[in-house]
Amino acid sequence: MKHKSTVFLLLFFSFVYANAQVSTTWKDIKGVVYEEIDTTSVFVENAIVRLLNPNDSTVIRYTSTNKNGLFSFPSTEKRDYLLSIAFIGYNTFYKNITPYSFQGESINLGEILLEESSLLLSEVTILGEVPELVVKEDTLEYNVAAFRMQESAVVEDLLKRLPGIEVEADGKITTTQGKAVPKVFVDGKEFFGKDPKVATKNITVDILDKVQVIEKKSDQELLTGVEDGEEEIIINLTIKKGMKKGWLGNATAGVGDFTDAERNDGARYAGNLFISRFLENDQITLVANSNNINNQAFADDGNQARSNMRGRGGGGGGNGLTSSSMAGLNVVGIVNDQLKMGGNIRYNYSDELVDRKSFRQNFMKDSVSYLESLSSDHGYSNNLVFDYKTEYNPDSLNAFVLTTGISYNNSRSIDHSYQSTLAGDEDSTRVNYSDAYTRLHSDGLTVNAELAYSRKFQRKGRRFSLTGTFNMNHNSGEGTNNSVNESFLNPSLNEYLDQESQNTSDRNSYGIRMTYVEPVWKTNNTLQFSYNLRYNHTDNVRETFDYDPETQTYSVLNSDYSKSLWNNFLTQTFGLNFNAVHAKYTYNIGLNVVPSHTQSTRYVKNGDIHGNDSILSEIPGRNVVNFSPQLSYTQRFTKEMNLRFTYRGNASQPSVSQLDPTPNNTNSMNIRYGNPDLLPSFSHNLSLRFNKNQREAQRALTSNLSFSFVQNQIINFTVYEDEDSIGIQTTVPINENGSWNASADLMYSMPLDAKKKFKFSTQTRFGYNNRIGYVMVNKQSERNISGTFSASENIGLSYSKDWFYGQFRGNIRYSNTSNSLEGRQDQSDTNFGLTYNTQLFFPYNWTFASDINYRGRRGLSAGYNTDEVVWNAEISKQFMSRKQATVRVKWNDILQQTLNINRTINANYIEDNEYNILSSYFLVSFAYRFNQMGNRRGSGERRANREDGDNVRSNSEYSPRQGQSRGGDGGGSRRR
């Protein structure tokens, strides 16, 4: 063992020596695949080539052929294989490879002929109903054909019907476990970067084969091959076979109005353009969208920028009335086997008006207070985004990946807000109120770049990678604030503001990451050493000037509203991981040691010139060392059943504002301090997931248990001042222990009849959340533990046949919150609903589609317990020779009952919110679609015209008619 450790250290510090050690048991396997069309030999592109275990047919490695029909398996271990080559419409080709085939420098199988299948494709596709859901180890795969959709349906319409997927009002996608989906891929390629709504709101369902929800490995893990715990949930849309070459597009234009005659918000309109050019591996897509029906088909960076400059959240969540326009171009190209490039550019504009009404109940053991608020926020934003990615593989051992992005946003907003604190007496006596009118104009520029290099070595499993990152973010804004804050019990706290402010924020970061992976003991066991260095610099400058009536200018510096922050943060991560991969199980165990250093200064820019202290507080240097363990284990019982356990430990540093002791009294009714004695919090996260899929029976089951608890959690400690100033609160962050949450999820789907026309799905979830908070008891803040139990059930039932599709989905969610302090009443609420979707297909190309949604709420504040029935319907007619044109009449919210209400619960208060929404309207639209996809054979080239550089044929004589090589490294080809 000591000898192995010594050799390993020598290899780790001497890469040149390591690279020179070439194992004679590793060879390349390559060949060319072609077909015969009218006596002409044509390359087959995108044929699936697999190396199988001849004992159980499990996949060991796989690849696909390029445009010249070439495939290659570099650095292949000397052992028995069964080679499989498959392509739609052709018989699968098989060939045995034995250890005796590993002679010479490589195994050249020469040219391999695929024979056309005698069974027509149309005869295969009608044998039975496809399953709605297939569960794999890290993937939920939905068959689009199982969900009958109208021609105009986009991906978002489909996602709303899928068990296990939730789509929020603003288009945000989450799983039933609450995990957000930040990206959408199309055939495994990023589509408009980190903006999933461009895909979900613009791509139509009719071109899709499957929707896959995948737990995607991080880019770093893909480079190193070792699990790092940074997985993310993504959606991959696969295009139907035969539709990956040619032009595809649709254009839609519609106009309408509100059905409520009293509304004078103007006509409703919607327009969409989607044009895509597919060349097998290459894609070019143009997207344009403009509407005022809240269909914001992009992420609004300007809305986020406005929220950051104001220091609070925006409307969002699909609330309010939104007009938006966008145009974007996405390009993915494979220049050759070594070079892949892709990128996108898009511009978008939005005009958003959000009106909000809320009612908050603040809990104290011996008293209760209430907070009523009204606000109206009108925001405008312009965004320009460019993303680019290049992958270069000069050979089978080296890889370079360059990712860059630039975005610019310009936004402005007008915000009017009012809030009032009420005492808990019988008359709800008003304690204080504030009335504010603000304007803000901001600009932002973000630039980021990442360059990654990965090096494989001749010994299987040995890798080295180096990654460098750079991020620059600059935001500037200016605005005005006219506000009144009055206290009826303590008039000395009254405040009247007329201000003008300028804000500048610069955040720059730099990082470098190195990893080295070494196989140990056996080639399927590896050790990973990693080092990560990241430096962040932040400089937030705020200058606020009060109005001077003598000079009639904003020239009096207000130091309370002019607090700037400078911060440096340096963190390093030293990691060691052991990874083992076996046929039936894999596991990973590792530990990260994370030392960090932070330094910050709170100051007033030019404060000394105006007679104020320039330096308000300093944290000269703070050093912390955290430990972050991780463990994962996956057991594969069969191909269709597996179990996975994960544990992640993660440390979180307090933010600079949480450490800063300087009072933040921009809201005189809620004064906030930081706490320089805060400790880092540490979260423990455990999960256990079980998947079982029965493909023939079309049954799929996935279940998940999760538990997490936090040490030294950072929570807010709030103190309400004495009786003379009731309603004024002071908040400071502190560390607390005792917060944890647990959940159990089960999702199951199955057909209910032999013909698999009726399909059933269920999702069950139980959860418990234990929170720590502080409330006032006899003018003292006391610790309270609030526990919230929740249970939910979602049931789906669908039926489909040639002329009809219908789906019922019912849901109910119950939650109950109890408190440890005596006198605190339990709070419970219930939400329930029923949805019915249907499509009816009539003669002469008429289609009727409708969805009815019933939602009820109980247990909320007075006036917020509501029932609503939202009914949407549309009728359409297809015409022209290939049904490429459609006229459609859509009526949204026929019964005019749409509401928008939500509830927030924590240990200190319960808050109910209501927003303005887009109510009943109708839209008449015309759509034109064209499809010139599927000309697959045109992709071939005559073998006689190919260049010698692409020719991997063996030097011996070859007879394409016989479909086998005479002599050569690969030996004769024979079929099963």
Cα–Cα distance measured from residue 31 to residue 958, given in angstroms and rounded to the nearest whole number: 13
pLDDT band at 948 (very low <50, low <70, confident <90, very high): very low
pLDDT at 955 over 70: no
Cα–Cα distance measured from residue 640 to residue 585, given in angstroms and rounded to the nearest whole number: 14
More confident residue, 530 or 957: 530
The candidate with the shortest Cα–Cα distance to 931, out of 277, 288, 329, is 277
CA 330 to chain centroid, in Å, comes to 19
HEC secondary structure over 433-468 = EEEEEEEEEEEEEEEEEEEEEEEECCCCCCEEEEEE
Residue 144 DSSP one-character state:
G
pLDDT digits 0-9 by tens, 509-526: 999 999 999 988 776 788
Cα–Cα distance measured from residue 18 to residue 9, given in angstroms and rounded to the nearest whole number: 11
What integer pLDDT is reported at residue 858 of this predicted model?
85
pLDDT digits 0-9 by tens, 828-859: 889 899 999 888 989 888 999 899 999 888 87
Residue 261: what are its φ and ψ, rounded to 5°? -65, -20
pLDDT band at 448 (very low <50, low <70, confident <90, very high): very high
555 token code pair? 């020239």
Read off the pLDDT of each residue in 521-546 and give the average, rounded to a whole number. 88
Q: Which helix (H) or strand (E) holds 11?
A: helix 2-12
What integer pLDDT is reported at residue 209 of this predicted model?
86
What integer pLDDT is reported at residue 413 of this predicted model?
93
More confident residue, 442 or 952: 442
- Across the chain, mean pLDDT equals 79
Q: What is the pTM of this model?
A: 0.68
Cα–Cα distance measured from residue 447 to residue 210, given in angstroms and rounded to the nearest whole number: 35
Contacts of 489 (CB under 8 A, 6+ apart): 431, 432, 723, 724, 725, 726, 727
What integer pLDDT is reported at residue 600 of this predicted model?
85
If one counts every other C-beta atom within 10 angstroms of the C-beta of residue 123, the result is 9
Alpha-carbon distance values, 757 to 122, 509, 778 (Å):
20, 55, 64
What one-letter code names the amino acid at 369? S
Angle value at C-alpha 195, between 193 and 200, nearest 5 degrees:
115
What integer pLDDT is reported at residue 590 of this predicted model?
92
Contact 286, 138 (CB under 8 A): no
What integer pLDDT is reported at residue 612 of this predicted model?
59
Beta-strand ranges (E) seen in 820-933 are 827-842, 846-858, 867-879, 885-892, 901-905, 909-915, 921-933
pLDDT digits 0-9 by tens, 869-880: 889 999 999 898
If one counts every other C-beta atom within 10 angstroms of the C-beta of residue 696, the result is 8
959 token code pair? 């007879």
pLDDT digits 0-9 by tens, 36-91: 765 667 888 888 898 888 876 777 888 888 878 899 888 787 788 889 998 876 78
Cα–Cα distance measured from residue 317 to residue 315, given in angstroms and rounded to the nearest whole number: 7
Contact 444, 475 (CB under 8 A): yes
Sheet holding 59-64, edge to edge: 59-64, 48-52, 81-86, 93-97
Contact 176, 765 (CB under 8 A): yes
Contacts of 593 (CB under 8 A, 6+ apart): 573, 574, 575, 625, 626, 627, 628
What integer pLDDT is reported at residue 377 of this predicted model?
93
pLDDT at 24 over 80: no
The candidate with the shortest Cα–Cα distance to 320, out of 854, 900, 867, is 900
